[in-house]
Structure 1
Amino acid sequence: MLFKENNHRKGLAIFYLVAFFLLEILIITNNSVIFSIDHSIQNILGTAVSPFNTKIFSIITFLGSPVMDTFYLVLMMILFFKFKQRDASLWTGYILIGGNIISYLIKITVKRQRPLDKIIPASGFSFPSGHVFGTMLVIMTIIFLILPSLKKQSTRWIINGILIIWVIIVAISRVYLRGHFPSDVIGSALLAGAWWQCSKLLYFRYYDSLVKLLKLNNY
């Protein structure tokens, strides 16, 4: 099996789901507290705007874009399959396709407009952030499916720290460039956590059936 049993998994899934839907409701109802927090953070980052920072954050936002996140995940799928880890490859594909569908459906349902005065062009709706959502899926795949194969725990911790910092930087880049509100990127992180944990619950529930159906034991 890809994952170990965890008694806290259902609780984590509920926490992420509840937190996400509460935030979504606050955004849909144009809650004044969310509005105030969003604009306060935007104003703080606005003081850091410069041609150099804009260039750096533009590169970061490209590397964390949905197109690049899809590329990273597809590449991992291919590598998993090549190294006879068919179950990991299928899981990665499922997470990618299912996650993108859910994120898109939420976007067109909430229909939140993007911030004004965007520094670089951005189309579509604002909530949730596809950049942060996709980056979270990439990073969780690396942390839970790739890093456990590393023998040195210190190496795993260092890479974990780098990956977490990368998510934060991508999130900051989206707010700095005014492609998203801060609440958009927070919502994306919560949605990614909810999707990952709920997918794990489904994985444990239907693992035996999937093994027989897809003959995963042969790999």
Structure 2
Amino acid sequence: MCTFIFLIQRSFILIFKPNNHRKWLSLIYVVIFFLLEIMIVSNNSFILGFDHSIQNILGSMVSPTNTKLFSTITFLGSPIMDVIYLLLIMFILFKRGKKDSSLWIGFILISGNVIAFLVKMTVRRQRPLGKIIPASGYSFPSGHVFGTTLVILALIFLVLPTIKKVSTRKTITGLLIIWLIIVAISRVYLRGHFPSDVIGSALLAGTWWECCELLYLRYYDSIAHLIDHKD
């Protein structure tokens, strides 16, 4: 098994370029996320006030038309759809010969869901009252926003670089960010999550993505060293 993994890694090319800012970015994400988590667990008055104010604004927008629209959006951004999107991205990259990037996304998908589940079971935050559509389980973090963020990061960093036209990449990136915001709003509108839940979910996904990049670069360097030493 170890030999098999070694042979696979030997055929890899470096997906991410070393970046001195990556460590600091990961640290910033981690600190902000844990501060938010602590505030949520301790029922901080600022977070409670922030959540209620956003909920009141979106609550004034409730209508049959908006509910149908946001229900459709929340379905398209659901965890199961995010898994399908990521598997599709994996397949496309694999068919294009980017096996390293394809397997990388698989690792992010599996490990990310484990991390999100562990955080959810640790915090055990109850969902908002008055849910417009049924939602079970705990509230923090949002699986919809977490998965959607990973999909968007995969597209931005692994797929969009294949597009040569810079303006096209920027346009698609902007649309993807808007989509993430819309999915987050849909979860709050439907009372499936608090606003702080969706913010924390995006932070958690970004944190895990950056940390996994660091792990990848560290592991890649170690494998390259072993290869050079053996050769």
2:97 to 84, 107, 128: 84
Aligned to 2:41: 28
2:207 to 185, 194, 199: 194
In the alignment, the residues of structure 2 paired with residue 69 and residue 199 of structure 1 have an alpha-carbon distance, to the nearest angstrom, of: 19
Aligned to 1:216: none
In the alignment, the residues of structure 1 paired with residue 209 and residue 55 of structure 2 have an alpha-carbon distance, to the nearest angstrom, of: 29
Letter in 1 for 2:88: L
Aligned to 2:25: 12
1:209 is displaced (CA, Å) by 4.5
CA 1:211–1:120 in structure 2 vs 1: closer, same or farther (change >3 Å)? farther
In the alignment, the residues of structure 1 paired with residue 223 and residue 137 of structure 2 have an alpha-carbon distance, to the nearest angstrom, of: 37
In the alignment, the residues of structure 1 paired with residue 44 and residue 167 of structure 2 have an alpha-carbon distance, to the nearest angstrom, of: 43
In the alignment, the residues of structure 2 paired with residue 6 and residue 178 of structure 1 have an alpha-carbon distance, to the nearest angstrom, of: 39
In the alignment, the residues of structure 2 paired with residue 161 and residue 35 of structure 1 have an alpha-carbon distance, to the nearest angstrom, of: 30
Moved more, 154-163 or 74-83: 74-83
In the alignment, the residues of structure 2 paired with residue 210 and residue 142 of structure 1 have an alpha-carbon distance, to the nearest angstrom, of: 26
1:164 is displaced (CA, Å) by 0.3
Aligned to 2:182: 169
Q: TM-score, normalised by structure 2?
A: 0.90
Q: Could you list the per-position Cα deviations for residues 66-107 of structure 1 after superposition, in whole angstroms to 9, with x for gaps in the alignment?
A: 000001011111221122111001110011000000000000
| Identical-pair percentage | 69
Q: SS of 2:172's equivalent?
A: helix
Q: TM-score, normalised by structure 1?
A: 0.95
Which structure's CA Rg is the greater one? 2
In the alignment, the residues of structure 2 paired with residue 191 and residue 67 of structure 1 have an alpha-carbon distance, to the nearest angstrom, of: 19
In the alignment, the residues of structure 1 paired with residue 58 and residue 224 of structure 2 have an alpha-carbon distance, to the nearest angstrom, of: 49
In the alignment, the residues of structure 2 paired with residue 212 and residue 87 of structure 1 have an alpha-carbon distance, to the nearest angstrom, of: 18
Give the number of equivalent residue pairs: 213
In the alignment, the residues of structure 1 paired with residue 49 and residue 79 of structure 2 have an alpha-carbon distance, to the nearest angstrom, of: 28
Q: CA RMSD in A?
A: 1.3
Long gaps (5+) in structure 1: 214-219
